[in-house]
Amino acid sequence: MKFKNLQKFIEFLEKHKELKKINFPVHPKLEITEIARRTILKKGPALFFQNPIGSEYPLLCNLFGNEKRILFGIGIEKKKSLRKIGKIFSFFRNPTPPKNFRDMVKKFSIYRRIFHTYTKEVKYASCQEIVVGKKKVDLFEFPIMHCWPKDSGKLITWGITTTKSLSNNRQNLGIYRLQVISKNKLLIRWFPQRGGEIDFQEWKKNNKEKFPISIFIGSDPITILSAVMPVPNSLSEYSISGILRGKNSKVVKCVSNDLRVPENSEIVLEGFIEEKSAKEGPNGDHTGFYNKEEYFPIINIEVITRKKYPIYLSTYSGKYPDETSVLSYYMNEILIPIIQKQFPEISDFYLPPEACSYRIALVSIKKKYPGHAKKIMMGIWSFLQQFMYIKIIIVCEDDVNIRDWREVFWSISTCVDPYRDSLFIKYCPSDILDFASFDYGIGSKMGIDATEKLKAESRQTFQSKIFMNKETCVRIEKIWKKLKIFS
The CATH number covering residue 225 comes to 2.30.110.10
The CATH number covering residue 420 comes to 3.40.1670.10
**pLDDT score, position 369:** 96
pLDDT tens by residue, 264-320: 999 999 999 988 899 998 999 999 999 989 999 999 999 999 999 999 999 999 999
Give CA angle at 313 (309, 318), nearest 5°: 160
Containing domain of residue 132, as a range?
6-313
Residue 453 phi/psi, 5-degree rounding, is: -90, 140
Residue that finishes a domain, picked among 264, 297, 313: 313
Q: Is residue 440 part of a domain?
A: yes
Q: Is residue 275 part of a domain?
A: yes
Residues 270 and 394 reside in one and the same domain: no
Number of structural domains the chain divides into? 2
**pLDDT score, position 107:** 67
Residues 281 and 394 reside in one and the same domain: no
Q: Is residue 415 part of a domain?
A: yes
Residue that finishes a domain, picked among 272, 292, 313: 313
Q: Is residue 480 part of a domain?
A: no
Catalytic residues: 285
Cα-trace Rg, the chain: 24
Q: Is the pLDDT of residue 409 over 90?
A: yes
- Please name the amino acid found at residue 439: D
Residues 261 and 113 reside in one and the same domain: yes
Mean pLDDT of the chain: 92
**What b-and-e string marks burial along 308-346, b requiring 16 or more CB atoms within 10 Å of the CB?**
eebbbbbbbbbebbbbbbbbbbbbbbbbbbbbbbeeebb
**Which of 94-108, 152-166, 199-213 is the most confident on average?**
152-166
pLDDT tens by residue, 351-387: 999 999 999 999 999 999 999 999 999 999 998 888 9
Residues 353 and 211 reside in one and the same domain: no
- Please name the amino acid found at residue 343: F
Burial class (CB in 10 A: 0-12, 13-18, 19+), 78: exposed
Residues 148 and 258 reside in one and the same domain: yes
More confident residue, 443 or 94: 443
Residues 149 and 297 reside in one and the same domain: yes
Q: Is residue 169 part of a domain?
A: yes
Residues 264 and 162 reside in one and the same domain: yes
Q: Is residue 327 part of a domain?
A: no
Which H, E and C letters describe the chain, residue by residue? CCCCCHHHHHHHHHHCCCEEEECCCECCECHHHHHHHHHHHCCCCEEEECCECCCCCCEEECCCCCHHHHHHHHCCCCCCHHHHHHHHHHHHHCCCCCCCHHHHHHCHHHHHHHHHCCCEECCCCHHHCEEECHHHCCHHHCCCEECCCCCCCCEECCEEEEEECCCCCCEEEEECEEEEEECCEEEEECCCCCHHHHHHHHHHHHCCCCEEEEEEECCCHHHHHHCCCCCCCCCCHHHHHHHHHCCCCEEEECCCCCCEEECCCCEEEEEEEEEEEEEECCCECCCCCECCCEEEEEEEEEEEEECCCCCEECCCCCCCCCHHHHHHHHHHHHHHHHHHHHCCCEEEEECCHHHCCCCEEEEEECCCCCCHHHHHHHHHHHHCHHHHHCCEEEEEECCCCCCCHHHHHHHHHHHCCCCCCEEEEEEEECCCCCCCCCECCEEEEEEEEECCCCHHHCCCCCCCCCCCCHHHHHHHHHHHHHHCCCC
- Closest C-alpha among 414, 368, 379, 374 to residue 394: 374
- Closest C-alpha among 441, 410, 413 to residue 428: 441
pTM given for the model: 0.91
Q: Is the pLDDT of residue 232 over 70?
A: no
Q: In whole angstroms, what is the distance from residue 387 CA to residue 360 CA?
A: 10
Identify the band that residue 30 occupies on the pLDDT scale cut at 50, 70 and 90.
very high
Q: Is residue 371 part of a domain?
A: yes
Residues 298 and 354 reside in one and the same domain: no
Give CA angle at 240 (229, 170), nearest 5°: 100
Residues 309 and 233 reside in one and the same domain: yes
**pLDDT score, position 198:** 84
Residues 138 and 230 reside in one and the same domain: yes
Q: Is residue 477 part of a domain?
A: no
Identify the band that residue 330 occupies on the pLDDT scale cut at 50, 70 and 90.
very high
Residues 195 and 63 reside in one and the same domain: yes
Residues 350 and 280 reside in one and the same domain: no
